[in-house]
Amino acid sequence: MLLQIRYPLLQSIRRLSSNKNQAIHRIIYSSSTNIWFNLATEEWLSKTIKPNEHILFLWQNDKCVIIGRNQNPWKECFLERMESDGVLLARRRSGGGAVYQDLGNTCFTFLISQANHKLDKNLNSKILLDALRSEFNIEARAEGRNDLVYGPQKRKFSGSAYQNTQQFALHHGTLITNVDTMAMKKYLNPNKEKLISKGVDSVQARVINLCEVNSSINHKDLCSAIEKSYRQTYSNDSIPPAKALSREVLDSIPELHAAYKLYSDPQWRFGQTFSFTHEYERRFPWGTISIGIVSERDGIIHTCEIYSDSLYVNMINRLKENFIGQIYTGESIRQVCQRTRDQVETEQEKSMIDDVQAWVLTQI
């Protein structure tokens, strides 16, 4: 009789032990196309993930440039052009390089709790590749550390980045379906040595839109294909229906709202940079002017030296004083020049400041 009691108890303990390591899956879609909000949603999901939980998060962004955790925005992209065209700058917490995104991209995030599981980057890539193969007849492959490529020329259509903490592991990236490749050239300032190492002379030459391979591909159908591939890969687990997160619901979550404030904050977007110096010189009809900007890690202009053979000494000094303490962005430069313009008296000085403003904005 004692053995009969113990045996069911042992089976129950084994079942509990087995369930402890069984993954719980969630598939989530974002209804927002704002990069700051989507990064905040991704962060909120990562901070609230439960033990044993696996999350597939699918999202899309309107026009933006996203830089890596430790990148310098003044080196990676043309900020003035972005500002003029309403292209948002975002900084993610993960590493990697700068990317341009618009509604011709599909973004993915594989997120797991590290309590009992480890992130399998190769398996995640297989899920994406299987989706392309089965639903769109696109034969592609993984290449290098974090790329997915197509064809003998290894043209890239997907790049990834990673983040690891004690609580979670995250693998996110983008699939290029029909991105504006001319915008890449307009807003990104790629490292020339990196392009040479890839055997190409521009970002456009290296990438390929998946619509060039299959014209029927689009964000909605691609997300459905990825979801289907994800479910097939984890067929041993019961995965509930996908859930769409609306902006209205997410706006009411205090932790997510705090994350959104961080990602949209200029101090985060521009300030997480190494100290740098920017020097440039120009000859105008009224004289030569040289400007030296020094920023120390936070994107703020800590030192500004202006040298000129212009006869208007006070104008030059006021301009230099107004630069110090300002964040090094196009809008800030406009404000500095407008403030200086209001402080000078002659029309000649105002015209000179207009010249300086137009010139400096092309250098950022």
| pLDDT score recorded for residue 231 | 95
Q: Quick check: 202 pLDDT over 70?
A: no
Q: What are the distances in angstroms from CA 320 to CA 23, 135, 305, 313, 342?
A: 59, 59, 6, 11, 15
Within a domain: 118: yes
**Torsions phi, psi of 203, nearest 5?**
-65, -40
Within a domain: 31: yes
User: Of 345, 294, 285, 299, whose CA–CA distance to 320 is shortest?
Assistant: 294
Give the count of beta carbons closer than 10 Å to the beta carbon of residue 159: 18
Residues 89 and 77 sit within 8 Å (Cβ to Cβ): yes
Within a domain: 33: yes
CATH label of the domain that carries residue 281: 3.30.390.50
Give the range of the structural domain holding residue 316, as residue numbers without chain letter: 276-363
| pLDDT score recorded for residue 20 | 57
Within a domain: 53: yes
Within a domain: 15: no
Q: Quick one: 93 and 60 in the same domain?
A: yes
| Domain stop point among 224, 255, 271 | 271
Q: Quick one: 221 and 192 in the same domain?
A: yes
Within a domain: 7: no
Tokens at 269, concatenated: 């977007």
For residue range 7-58, what is the model confidence (pLDDT) as tens digits?
343 343 334 334 556 788 999 999 999 999 999 999 999 999 999 899 999 9
Range of weakest confidence among 40-54, 113-127, 205-219, 288-302: 288-302
Q: Quick one: 205 and 319 in the same domain?
A: no
Question: Considering the chain, what percentage of its residues have pLDDT values greater than 70?
Answer: 87
Q: Quick one: 267 and 283 in the same domain?
A: no
Q: Quick check: 157 pLDDT over 90?
A: yes
Q: Quick one: 349 and 327 in the same domain?
A: yes
Query: pLDDT class for 69, splitting at 50, 70, 90?
Result: confident
Q: How far is 148 from 132, CA to CA, in rounded Å?
A: 11
Amino acid, res. 98 = A
Q: How far is 171 from 227, CA to CA, in rounded Å?
A: 16
Within a domain: 264: yes
Q: Quick one: 176 and 88 in the same domain?
A: yes
Q: Quick one: 51 and 199 in the same domain?
A: yes
| Domain stop point among 238, 271, 304 | 271
Q: How far is 327 from 74, CA to CA, in rounded Å?
A: 12
Within a domain: 155: yes
Q: Look over the chain and give the mean of its residue pLDDT values, rounded to a whole number.
A: 85
Domain count, the chain: 2
For residue range 272-293, what is the model confidence (pLDDT) as tens digits?
556 778 888 888 888 888 888 8
| pLDDT score recorded for residue 117 | 83
CATH label of the domain that carries residue 258: 3.30.930.10
